Structure 1
Amino acid sequence: MLPVSFSTHYITLDNKMTTHTGIATTAKGKVDVIQVPTTHPGAGEVRIKTEYSSTMPYDVYVVDIGFSVQSYPTVLGLCPAGTIVEVGEGVSELKVGDRVTAVAISGPASKGLQEFSVLPATLCARIPDEMSFAAASSIPDNYITAFFTIFDQLKLPFPESFPATTSPPQASVPILVFGGGSLAGQYMIQVLHISGYKNIITTASEKHHAYLRSLGVAHAFDYRSPTLAADITKAVGGDGKVKIAIDPIAAKSTLGVIGEVIDPKGTVAALLPIKEGSSIAISSAADIHFNIPTEWNLLPKDVKFIPVGTALGYLNNAFLRDNAMSKILPDLLQRGLIKPSSVLLMDQGSLKERAEKGLDLLRNNKVSGEKIVVKMT
C-alpha cells in the first residue's frame, strides 16, 4: 500500500501517525489501495467516517488520462456518505453522530473513496434517518451541479421557497434538458420543477420517460428518434423554438440537435467537458474540450453558449456554497422534494475490486440512469 500526505494536522497514537485506507489513482491508468494520513478537521470542518461513496465519469477521466491530477497518488470519489466523528472549531449546525452526505470538492482530504473524509461543514448535508448511506451518496455532485447551472450560470431567479409558491417570470417558457435520463439531467429536471418551471422538455431512452414525467417533465422524447428535432418543435408550439437548453451529455451529436431547435437568441448551457461522442472512454486529454470546437458548432451565431464547470464556480458563489448543501438539501430530502438516484451498488469482492468494477462499468457505458456506489467497509 502506498502512502500519501495531505495535511499537517495529523492524528497520532503513541507518537505514530495514524492512517486509513483509500482508493487512488497511482499512475495514469492505475488504481490501487493506499494508506492516507488521518487528519483532524480544521476550523469550520468536520471529519466523516465514510460508509459509502459514489463514483462518476470524472473519476474515470482522472484515472485514464490524469485529468486535473496535480500529483500521484490522487484519491478518488466526490460524494462520501457516513457519520460525523469529529467537528472542528466553529461548527455549530453539525455534531458528532450526525448522518450526512457531502460533496468532496475542497481538496484531497475531502475525497470520498477513503475511510475518513475531512471537509467544510457547508459542503455536508444531514440526511433523513430512513435514508440509507448508499442512496445519500448518489445525490451531492449532480444536486450542486443543477443548482449552479440553473441559478448561477443561467441566472434564473432563486425561489423564495421550495416548492416555489409564486411562478417565476419564465415559468411557461420551454426549457429543454437534453439527456434527462442521465443523472445530471434528472437533478436539472427536479430543481427546475420545484422552482416553478412548467414547460420542461427532455430527451431520454423510452424506459426512463415515466420516471422523468414523475419528476416534472411536460414532454419526453426518445433521443434516438429520427424525427427528434421535429418532435421537439411540435411540442414547443408557437415558433417551435426552445429558449433555454441544458445539455448534461455535452457531445457533438447532442449539441447538433440542440442547434436545430434552439431559439436564434436563446441560451445553451453544456456540462464540461465537451466530447465528440457520448462515451466516457477517452484516450487522451485531446479528446475533451472546454468549449465547442469551431467545426462542431451548429448553434445559431447569436445563441449564448455557457460551458459549465461546477466545482470552482460553485465554491466561488458564496450563497450556494454556504446554503445549498448544509441548509437547503436537508429540508428538500426530508420533504421528498429531491429524490436520490437509483443505486447500482458495488459491494462484492475487495475494496479495490469494487472500485475498479464501478469504474469499468462507467468507462464501458454499462450503466444508465443509475449511480454507481462503492461500499467502503
Structure 2
Amino acid sequence: MSSGKTHTAIASTSPGHFTTIQVPTPSSLEPDQVLVKVEYASMIAFDTYVNDLGYFVQPQDYPVIFGFNGAGTIVQVGEDVDDLKVGDRVTAFAFGKSERKAMQEYVVQPRSVVAKIPSSLNLSAAATIPDNFITAFNSLFNPSYLGLPYPSFAPSPPSTSVSPSLTTPILIYGAGSTTGQYAIQLLHASGYISILVTSSPKHHSYLLSLGASHVFDYRSSTLASDILQVTQGKKVEYVLDCVTAEATLERISQVVNEEGGSKVALLLPIKKGDKVRGEGGKEEMVFELPEERNPLPKGTKQLGVRNFLYLENSYLRTYLMPKILPHLLDQGIIQPNKVRLLDESSGTLEERVGKGLDLLRNNLVSGEKVVVKVQ
C-alpha cells in the first residue's frame, strides 16, 4: 500500500530511452518484507540489455527501473522479520519486477534477498556484492549446476553424492569478471587448491591474491596446452564460464573431456563473439546454441545458469543472503569487487546512470562494478 508519497527512480521508458520518474513510496509491508532506504545501487550489463534492446521486456512493462543491487539502511520491517531491525545496514539482490529494482530512493525487498553487512564495510562496496556473489555460489554449489559439495562454512548443508577431491582442477574462464572474483574466493575458502583461471594479464596478480592457484592469459595461442600442462594432461571436469560467448566455448572445448562427462556452467545468455555484452543485438543472445554452432564435445553437461531462479532452491533461499553472506563478510573471508563510483561529481542521478550505461555498453569496465550514488 502506498502512503501517497512518492520518491525518485531512474527507469527505461522504451527501447533506447530512460529518464527520471516518480514512483509511490510504500507505507505498509508484507510480513516477510523490509523497506530499504537506498544509498547506492550498482549496474550490470543486463541493465543495458533492458534499456538498449528491450531485452526480456514487454511493452506493457515500461517504465522499468534500473539496478540489480542496492545497499542502504532499513527503515521498516515486516512483522515476521525478527533478525533485522530499523537502522541496520544491508545489501540486497534487487531483481524481479520493476518496483524491486534498486535505482530508486526506497525499495521493498523480501527478507530472503537481503544481507546485513558489518560496520567496517562501506555501503558503496556492499552494493557490488549480491548478484555476482549469488551467481558464483549458485553456479558452483547448486546441484542443478556444477553441484560441488556445499562448503563447511555453510550452515546445515544438505548432503550430496558428489565428492570431488580438493585437488580436482576447476577452471574459471573470465575470472577477472566480478562473478569470477567471487568464484575464486568461494573455492579457496572451501579448500580447493587447484583453481585454474583465465583473464587479461592485468588481473593476474590480483586473482592470485584472491586464491587462484594458476592464472592464464585467455588470449594466449597456447592456452589449452598451458592448462593441460598444469593438469598433467588430465582434462578438466568442472568449468565455470563467466563470459559465455561462442569464442569462450571454443577455447573451453579444448580442455574438457572429448568423450563427455565434463560439467560446464554457462552464465546465460550465450553471446556472439567474445565479450560479456556480445557483439550484436538481442537476436545474438541465446539460451542454447544450435548443435552446428556448439563447439563443446557431445556428452558435455552444459548447464545454463539462470541466476534469477536461485530462490527455487529452498536451501539457498533460506541461508545464502540471510546467513552465509553476512558470515563471510563478518569473518573477512571474501571481499567485495572494486568500485567504479559515480557520485555527485558525475552530475545528477539521471546523468550518473547515463554514464554507467555508457561504461557498460562500451565494455569500459573490467574487474570492477559500476556503482551509482542514489541519495
TM-score of the pair, normalised by structure 2? 0.93
Pick closer, same or farther for the CA change 1:149–1:244 going to 2, 3 Å.
same
Corresponding residue SS for 1:19: strand
Residue 30 (str. 1) matches residue 17 (str. 2) = yes
Counting only pairs closer than 5 Å after superposition, residues 304-323 of structure 1 correspond to structure 2 as: 304-312=301-309, 314-323=310-319
Residue 300 (str. 1) matches residue 294 (str. 2) = no
CA distance in 2: counterparts of 1:170 and 1:32, whole angstroms? 52
CA distance in 2: counterparts of 1:82 and 1:113, whole angstroms? 12
2:158 is matched with none
Which of 170, 179, 185 in structure 2 is aligned with 1:184? 179
Residue 60 (str. 1) matches residue 52 (str. 2) = no
Which of 346, 355, 362 in structure 2 is aligned with 1:364? 362
Corresponding residue SS for 1:128: coil
CA distance in 1: counterparts of 2:295 and 2:13, whole angstroms? 40
Pick closer, same or farther for the CA change 1:289–1:169 going to 2, 3 Å.
same
Q: Is the 8 A contact 1:18 1:37 kept in 2?
A: yes
2:350 is matched with 352
Q: Is the 8 A contact 2:148 2:164 kept in 1?
A: no
1:243 counterpart letter in structure 2: E
CA distance in 1: counterparts of 2:182 and 2:133, whole angstroms? 6
Instruction: Give unmatched runs, 5+ long, in structure 2.
Output: 156-162
Counting only pairs closer than 5 Å after superposition, residues 40-55 of structure 1 correspond to structure 2 as: 40-55=28-43
Q: Is the 8 A contact 1:266 1:304 kept in 2?
A: yes
1:139 is matched with 129
Q: Is the 8 A contact 1:176 1:200 kept in 2?
A: yes
Corresponding residue SS for 1:102: strand
Corresponding residue SS for 1:327: helix
Pick closer, same or farther for the CA change 1:279–1:143 going to 2, 3 Å.
closer
CA distance in 2: counterparts of 1:267 and 1:335, whole angstroms? 31
CA distance in 2: counterparts of 1:47 and 1:365, whole angstroms? 33
Superposition RMSD in Å: 1.6
2:99 counterpart letter in structure 1: A
Q: CA deviation at 1:106?
A: 4.3
Q: CA deviation at 1:159?
A: 2.2
Q: CA deviation at 1:107?
A: 2.8
1:4 is matched with none
Q: CA deviation at 1:160?
A: 2.9
Q: CA deviation at 1:294?
A: 2.3
CA distance in 2: counterparts of 1:117 and 1:63, whole angstroms? 20
CA distance in 2: counterparts of 1:300 and 1:90, whole angstroms? 49
Q: CA deviation at 1:295?
A: 2.9
Q: Is the 8 A contact 1:150 1:156 kept in 2?
A: yes
Counting only pairs closer than 5 Å after superposition, residues 114-153 of structure 1 correspond to structure 2 as: 114-152=104-142, 153=145
1:154 is matched with 146
Q: CA deviation at 1:349?
A: 0.1
Deviations 1:324-343 (A, max 9, x none): 01111111001111110000
Corresponding residue SS for 1:301: coil
CA distance in 2: counterparts of 1:272 and 1:357, whole angstroms? 25
Deviations 1:192-216 (A, max 9, x none): 1112211110001111111111111
CA distance in 1: counterparts of 2:123 and 2:321, whole angstroms? 16
Q: CA deviation at 1:293?
A: 3.0
1:222 is matched with 217
2:77 is matched with 87
1:247 counterpart letter in structure 2: D
Q: CA deviation at 1:52?
A: 0.2
2:91 is matched with 101
CA distance in 2: counterparts of 1:56 and 1:325, whole angstroms? 19
User: Number of aligned pairs?
Assistant: 359
Pick closer, same or farther for the CA change 1:375–1:91 going to 2, 3 Å.
same
Corresponding residue SS for 2:166: coil
Pick closer, same or farther for the CA change 1:286–1:180 going to 2, 3 Å.
same
CA distance in 2: counterparts of 1:371 and 1:209, whole angstroms? 18
Deviations 1:9-33 (A, max 9, x none): 112xxxxx11110011000011111
CA distance in 1: counterparts of 2:279 and 2:124, whole angstroms? 28
CA distance in 2: counterparts of 1:283 and 1:229, whole angstroms? 27
1:6 is matched with none
Q: CA deviation at 1:281?
A: 5.8
